[in-house]
Amino acid sequence: MANTPYPQSYYAASANPVPPRPALQEEVQTDVCVIGAGYTGLSSALFLLESGFSVTVLEAAKVGFGASGRNGGQIVNSYSRDIDVIERTVGPKQAQLLGQMAFEGGRIIRERVAKYNIQCDLKDGGVFAALTAKQMGHLESQKRLWERFGHTQLELMDQKRIREVVDCDQYLGGMLDMSGGHIHPLNLALGEAAAVESLGGKIYEQSPAVRIERGANPVVHTPQGKVRAKFIIVAGNAYLGNLVPELAAKSMPCGTQVITTEPLGEDLARQLLPQDYCVEDCNYLLDYYRLTGDKRLIFGGGVVYGARDPANIEAIIRPKMLKAFPQLKDVKIDYAWTGNFLLTLSRLPQVGRLGDNIYYSQGCSGHGVTYTHLAGKVLAEALRGQAERFDAFAELPHYPFPGGQMLRVPFSALGAWYYSLRDRLGF
């Protein structure tokens, strides 16, 4: 059977050692079968195990193989669409619930790291950097909006103040969120997987779900085994393929591109980001960057439809990095990779239930690090019969892409072009 390794990346090269996990080669019985060992699947599994359920996790490749082990590693609060957009879409009660939950994912990550002693270079502090007066105005209104929902660890920064936290002269100002931060994303996933196993959960790698037999007692088939369960949680996100056709039409895999420099040394690293905060700008097609534990700069940005060759990635992302930090012109790039995330038409996550016993969460639209941890908790609550928060998400509108699967890429590419033009022209 094919063995799918991690793609070449800085995260895979600096991953904490873990024991090999077997492929499923038998029939097993469990309360809950989770498809996908990324953050959503692992977070669901942990909350369910803590509530006394038996859990089996199936992973097509390796723990954290998808977006969970390849992303920028930034803890960013709220959703890809902010709470004000949600308020205009849904009723006040639902908006209130979703608003209260917008900052819970970061808290869950910190609780998990502390409780299970996960070594993932967790650092506090995230900066939203404004390139235009309009973006600065948006941050001011965002601060007021977030504070309305009890989120108060925020500081608006003028041009002088932002230069104290990031050595880049592009920014007019910004906002610091001390409940934001950054992690080594793959090591967080590996630590959560170890926590799942410490509570008696089973994880099978190299065990893709190839077919779901639906019904009162659903069965998930893998190439060499099967899992009989009372409930299924589908958490494959951009790597599901057509396993659940109802979900494929409502979302589109997109890629983000990331590069990592050679180690910069203490002095240069401290010059770039003196407080070791992570940064993202306020463009629609945004750039984001941060330091690693060994003082490299990770820099990501852009959106692509499908994976790219590392040489292309460096050619696309390096100029963006040098625009922010011209002082890095002689610095070598050690790693470059793409990671898929799932975009929805509304840019809001899709949560729901198929029949009585198949639950799913997908489409974080680039805000996955925090949202997935919340999703795990909300899915676990729903399985325990506490569905209020689950329903708040499930009632968000899920739109299919116009023209179905065939036309979703050209339409989205057109959208990306439109927004990049907006970013450049500043409107």
Q: Please report the DSSP string for 208-256 in residue order.
A: ---EEE-SSS-EEE-SS-EEEEEEEEE--GGG-TTSSHHHHTTEEEEEE
Report all structural domains of the chain as residue ranges with CATH numbers, in order of start. Answer: 125-180+253-344 (3.30.9.10)
In three-state secondary structure terms, 154 is strand
Tokens coding 97: 């619930």
Angle at 38 between CA 32 and CA 44, to 5 degrees: 35
How far is residue 340 CA from its own chain's centroid? 10
Structure tokens given for 167:
């050595």
How far apart CA 132 and CA 383 sit, in angstroms, is 45
* 154-161 CB contacts, 8 Å cutoff, 24+ apart: 154/178, 157/127
Q: Please name every residue paired with 175 in a beta bridge, in sequence order, or none if there are none.
A: 128, 156
Dist. CA 164–CA 160, nearest whole Å = 7
Distance of CA 11 to the CA centre of its chain: 15
Taken in order 135, 137, 143, 148, the sign of the CA dihedral is: negative
DSSP state at residue 335? E
Contact 30, 55 (CB under 8 A): yes
User: Average pLDDT by consecutive 10-residue portion of the chain (427 residues)?
Assistant: 84 95 97 96 97 97 92 82 70 78 91 98 97 95 89 95 97 96 97 98 97 95 97 82 76 80 98 97 90 97 65 90 96 90 66 91 71 92 90 76 50 50 51
∠ CA 204-8-77, rounded to 5°: 75
Q: Which residue has the tokens 């709220």?
A: 78
DSSP state of 188: H
Q: Is 323 helix (H, G, I), strand (E, B) or coil?
A: helix
CA dihedral for 162, 168, 172, 175, sign (positive or negative): negative
How distant, in Å, are the alpha carbons of 158, 263, 288, 331 from that of 272?
18, 13, 14, 13
Cα–Cα dist 269/331, whole Å = 12
Candidates 183, 190, 187; CA nearest to 73 is 183
Local structure of 297: helix, strand or coil: strand
Those residues whose C-beta lies under 8 Å from the C-beta of residue 270, and which sit 6 or more positions away, are none
Q: Does residue 376 contact residue 106 with C-beta atoms inside 8 Å?
A: no
Q: Return the amino acid letter for 422.
A: R
| CB-CB contact of 343 with 254 (8 Å) | yes
CB proximity list for 88: less than 8 A, separation 6 or greater: none
| Sign of the C-alpha dihedral computed for residues 196, 201, 206 and 212 taken in this order | negative
Q: Cα torsion for 265, 266, 269, 270, to the nearest 10°?
A: -160
Q: What is the pLDDT of residue 300?
A: 93
DSSP 8-state class, residue 327: G
Which of the 8 DSSP states describes residue 53? Answer: -
Start-to-end C-alpha separation, the chain: 52
Residue 302 DSSP SS3: strand
- Residue 342 has what pLDDT? 64
DSSP 303: E
**Letter for the amino acid at 325?**
F
Whose CA is closest to 368, among 401, 387, 344?
344
- Look at residue 423 in the predicted model and tell me its pLDDT: 47
**What pTM value is reported for the model?**
0.91
Contacts (Cβ under 8 Å, ≥6 apart) of 406: none
pLDDT score recorded for residue 400:
64
